[in-house]
Structure 1
C-alpha cells in the first residue's frame, strides 16, 4: 500500500480528547484499562527491567483480538493458530480498514474498552498514539526487537526515545525497469539522461522515465540525497529546517536538469498514465513501490533495482515507511498481547508473511534470507530501503507537504529558481509552525 499523508486534524482532535481523558483518569498516559497498576502491566521502557522479564506470563483466561487489513487477514489467522497451540491463548482476527482507520478507532474505542488488543500502525502514527497514552511501550521485548530488526525500522517505531512498535514490514519505492527495453539497468541519473536521447519519442508516447515528480514523497530524493534534510536531530527539531540548505538547492537544481529526460509537466503524469505506458512497453523506467508489483507481474518483463546514483556518487535516499504491531494500552491482557506482537514478528513469521502476502520483512535476518534476496522484485526494494529515511513521525511534518509539493511543481513546470523557491517554501513552513504555537 502506498504510504499516505496521515496526520489529519480530525485524528489530532480525537487524540487531544484522549489526552485529557487519560490525564483525568490516571495521570500517567499508560492506563492498562483492567484495574491493575501500571507497575504490574506497563513496565517502563528499559532493558534493565530484569525483574519483569523473569515474571512475564500470559494472564489467566487471556484471549486476544487483533485488528488487521484485508490483505493480512489469512496470515494473522495462521499465526493466531500457532500462537494458541503454543501458549493456549485464543486469537480472533477482525478486519479493520486501512491503518489510519485503526488509529482513528483506537482513539475512541481504546478508552471505551472496545478496541483490539493488538493493531498495526504505520510509524508516522506511533508518536500521536504514544503521546495520547493509547499504546504501550515495547518494553519486555525491547532488547530482542532492537537486535533482530533493521536499524531504520527500530528508529521509525520509536517516539521520544521510547520503542513502542514491534516492526513487521517496511516499504519504499525503487526503480522498475522493462527488461525487454533495457537489458542492463542504469546505475546513475546520467545513464538515464543519456538513454533518453535515443529512446524518447513524445509523438508516440514513448518516454524514458516517470514518477510522481510533483509529490514530495517521491521527489524527496532530490531534497535529501545531496545534504538536504527536513528537520534537525533526526527529523525531531522543528527549529532547524534543512529544506533550503546548500544540499537541497543542489539536489533540486539537478532535479530540474532531468526534464530533458521527461519533457512533460507534472500534471500530465498520473498514476494511470504511468502504469499504462509501462505495461505497453512505452516507458522504460518507472519509479514505484512494492504495491505496484501485482499490476505488472504478468504483463511486463521487469526488474527492480535501487534508485540511480547522482553524478558525484551519492546514493538516492528515498522515503520509507515501517508498519509495526502495537499493544493497546487499554488491553485487559497486556502481557499476552506483548507476547503475540513479538511472536508474530519473529523471523519465521515474517518470512511466512512474505510468502503469503509479499511484504518486505523488517526483521534483518528474514530480509537477508535467500528467499528474499533471490526474489526478483522484493530484493530490489529491500536494497533501496537500506538507502532510505523513515518519514518523520512528529505531527509538525504535516506542514511540510504542501509547500514542498508546490516548490517541486514550480521548479519543474515553470523553470523557477531552486534557491528562491525553496526559501519561499521554508518560510511558509515556518509560518505554519509559528501559528501552531
Structure 2
C-alpha cells in the first residue's frame, strides 16, 4: 500500500491529541480571515472538551475522551437498518448524553450526498459507505481518519475489513459488516460440503446427469465470482493490493496456472459460459437439481424455504491452498465537516463494537466484521452465516480504484473464451487480455 503525504496523521497518538487541545484551539481562534467557507475538522482537538475552557495538568493520556459540550449528531442509515440504528442511537445517548437523529438514506446515495452536502454542513455526522467509495471521498477531503481508535480497530476487526477501510495507508473506517460469496450446498443431495476441488470432481462424476439438468456445481463466469481462479493461485488484478495500475497481474504465472486449472473443470460442468446465468442456477438449485451453488448472502432468502441449505467456504485448490474470493466491506465513516468530531468518532466506535455488531446481525442479518463477534455462538453455530464469515477471512476487498472499470469486460471475455474452448492457449489469451486493458488505461 502506498504511503500518503498525510500518513503522519496516523502517528499522532491519543495522548498528543489531548495534550495539544488548548494550543490548537487558541491557534484556530486566532486564524480567522473572514472567509465563511466551511472548512473540515481534521482531528478531535478541533473542539475543546472542557466546557470551562481550562486545562488539566494530569496526564492527558489517562483522561477519558468526552463528547463536546452540547453535541448533537445526525446519522444516515439505509432503510433495512433504520430500526436497528434507532435502538443503537438511544443506547449511545444513555451512555454519552448525546442525542442522535437517524435519517433514512439509501446506502448507495450516502456518498453522493456527502459530496454535495458535506461542505455546506448539511450532511450527517456519521454515515455508512461501501469500501469501494472511500477513495473518492478521501480525495475530496470528506472523511476524517479513524486515528483515535486506530489501534483498537485494527486489533479487533478481521484484517480484510481493515484493508478495505484503509486508503493510501490511512485507516478511515470503523468496520460494520462484511460480505463475500461462498459455497451453498443442498444437504439432501450432498451431506457434507467438499473440502477440495478434487472432492467436487469426485462427487460430480457420480452425480452429474446433463440430459436431466442435474449438475454438481455452478457459478457465474464474471470476474467477481471467478476471481478464486486468479487470487488463489498467486495472480492478481493490480499490484500492491490493487493500488498499482502499472502492474497488471492477469497474465503472470499464477493467473496462467489458475486459468489452466479452470479449463480442467469443464468436464464436470459441460455447458458454455453463457448458459450459466444467475437465474438458471438459482432455479436448478431451488428445484433440487443443482447440488452446489457459488453465491452470496443476498440469495439466502431465495433458498431457505426450498432447500435443506448449508453454506461452507469455497473448496481448496489443487495444492491445498484456500480459495480467495472477492469481498465487500461496509464501514461507518465520520464526515470531516462535522461540528462534533469527538462525539462523531465516539459514535462510530460505539456503533462498530462487538456487542452492537452482534445486535445488528440479530436484527438485520448483517455479518460482523469484528473478530470476536464472528466467534460468538450466534454466528459460529449458525450453519449458514458461519460459512460466509469463514470464507471472508480468505478474501480480498474488491478493488476500489476507478481504473477497475478497464478490467471487467476484458477479464470476463477471457474467462468465457477459455471456458468455452478449453483448447485455447491460456498464456496467449491472457497476454491479449492485458494488452486490451493497458490500451484502455493509456487512452484515459
Partner residue, 1:276: 283
Q: For residues 426 and 73 of structure 1, what CA distance do their matches in structure 2 show?
A: 44
Give the stretch that moved more between structures: 425-434 or 373-382: 425-434
Partner residue, 2:120: 112
Partner residue, 1:393: 400
Contact 2:47 2:340 in 1 (8 A): no
Which one of 238, 246, 251 corresponds to residue 239 of structure 1? 246
Look at both structures and tell me which one has the larger radius of gyration over its CA atoms. Answer: 2
Pairwise CA distance, 1:51: 5.5
Q: For residues 307 and 42 of structure 2, what CA distance do their matches in structure 1 show?
A: 57
Q: What is the TM-score normalised by the length of structure 1? A: 0.86
Partner residue, 2:98: 89
Contact 2:72 2:100 in 1 (8 A): yes
Pairwise CA distance, 1:283: 0.5
Pairwise CA distance, 1:425: 1.3
Cα distance per residue 1:394-428 (max 9 Å; x no partner)? 32223221211111111112333221121111112
Cα distance per residue 1:227-250 (max 9 Å; x no partner)? 111222222222221111111011
2:443 counterpart SS class: helix
Partner residue, 2:45: 40
Partner residue, 2:10: none
Q: What are the residue-to-residue correspondences of 1:303-318 with 2, within 5 Å?
A: 303-318=310-325
1:71 counterpart SS class: helix
Pairwise CA distance, 1:432: 2.3
1:380 aligns with 2:387: yes
1:256 counterpart SS class: helix
Pairwise CA distance, 1:61: 2.2
Contact 1:73 1:93 in 2 (8 A): yes
Q: For residues 39 and 279 of structure 1, what CA distance do their matches in structure 2 show?
A: 52
Partner residue, 2:78: 69
Contact 1:32 1:41 in 2 (8 A): no
Contact 1:32 1:38 in 2 (8 A): no
Contact 1:124 1:391 in 2 (8 A): yes
Contact 2:406 2:441 in 1 (8 A): yes
Which one of 181, 191, 202 corresponds to residue 189 of structure 2? 181
Distance 1:195 1:39, change over 3 A: closer
Give the stretch that moved more between structures: 396-405 or 217-226: 396-405
Q: What are the residue-to-residue correspondences of 1:161-200 with 2, within 5 Å?
A: 161-200=169-208
Partner residue, 2:297: 290
Contact 2:186 2:307 in 1 (8 A): yes
Pairwise CA distance, 1:32: 11
Q: How many aligned residue pairs are there?
A: 399
Q: What are the residue-to-residue correspondences of 1:210-225 with 2, within 5 Å?
A: 210-212=218-220, 214-225=221-232
Distance 1:282 1:133, change over 3 A: same
Cα distance per residue 1:193-252 (max 9 Å; x no partner)? 22222322222221111111x210010000111111122222222222111111101101
Which one of 400, 404, 408 corresponds to residue 415 of structure 2? 408
Q: For residues 36 and 308 of structure 1, what CA distance do their matches in structure 2 show?
A: 47
Q: What is the TM-score normalised by the length of structure 2? A: 0.85
Distance 1:363 1:33, change over 3 A: farther
Distance 1:338 1:236, change over 3 A: same
Partner residue, 2:147: 139
Distance 1:151 1:38, change over 3 A: closer
Unmatched runs of 5 consecutive residues or more in structure 2: 1-30, 49-58
Q: For residues 363 and 195 of structure 1, what CA distance do their matches in structure 2 show?
A: 35
Partner residue, 1:23: none
Pairwise CA distance, 1:330: 1.4
CA RMSD of aligned residues (A): 2.2
Unmatched runs of 5 consecutive residues or more in structure 1: 1-25, 44-49
